Amino acid sequence: MNRLLPFLLTFVVLLAAPARGQQVIEDDANKDPFEDYNRAVFAFNDGLDTWFMRPVAKSYRFIMPDFAERGVTNFFANLYDANSVVNAVLQGRLNNAARGTGRFLVNSTFGVAGFFDVATRMGLTPYPTDFGHTLAVWGAPEGPYLMVPLFGPRTVRSGAGSIVDVYAIPQTYIDNVRLRNSLYGLELIDARARLLDVDELTSGDRYIFIRDAYLQQREVLVNDGRIQDDFSNYGTEDGWEEEF
């Protein structure tokens, strides 16, 4: 992309700001009609994170050697490759399903239960997807933004997808309750530890920052890595351009 493009887009935004102000307010109301409720839940979640999850994640990162932390992250990513395979089939993307199956088998065996990502080195790259993405492929609307107690940001579509995704990951079917719950806890701590570096990037109104970041991340996911350019038709057809 031309290096001047970010400056041109910024210039356009500044020129259009007075005319677009009311539209921005209306857009926020449309995507977040339950903002008062969501902010209250966000305050609860944020307090829990500040006083519990973040200190635990920092302790985990301090204790765990880097290679072990990467191994744990790879282990859980491997389990979610099984979920990706199921959703790729439901989306009719059989090539992605075949690639995901290959990743899961290679990493589960040669990668020692997924602790080493051997498959990526072999050219079997992951296909990030979930049932919320599948619902989007099927034409389901996104629905309003929701902040869920304990679980964080969702939309109606991604939230419904999360419920289904639980039944497509292997750890759900572990009979040993203590082991299953221990895996859930470790996964949660590992995920929070990976976000520690992102904490420094949060600025301004934390609620709006996290909301908009989440909605953009979902937009990129359901559009297969593409982001929409609202200002012009740079890039690919109809104003869509590749993220990378």
112 vs 115, 116, 124, CA distance in Å? 6, 7, 16
The reported pLDDT for the residue numbered 202 is 81
User: What is the model's pLDDT at position 27?
Assistant: 59
Locate 4 and state its tokens. Answer: 């001047």
pTM: 0.79
The whole-number pLDDT of residue 160 equals 95
Distance CA 133, CA 126 (A): 15
Check residue 76 and give its pLDDT.
Answer: 96
d(C-alpha 102, C-alpha 128), whole Å: 15
Q: Residue 17: what pLDDT?
A: 39
Please state, in angstroms and as integers, the Cα–Cα distance from residue 243 to each residue in 82, 128, 210, following that order: 25, 14, 20
Tokens 């209306």 belong to: 26
Report pLDDT digits (tens) over 194-237: 999 888 888 789 999 999 999 999 999 998 777 655 433 433 33
Q: What is the CA radius of gyration of the chain?
A: 20
Q: What is the pLDDT of residue 234?
A: 34
Query: What stretches in the chain show pLDDT beneath 70?
Result: 1-29, 227-244
Asked whether 239 and 230 are in contact (CB, 8 A), the reply is yes
Residues with Cβ within 8 Å of residue 217, at least 6 apart in sequence:
none
Average pLDDT, the chain: 84
Q: What pLDDT does residue 78 have?
A: 96
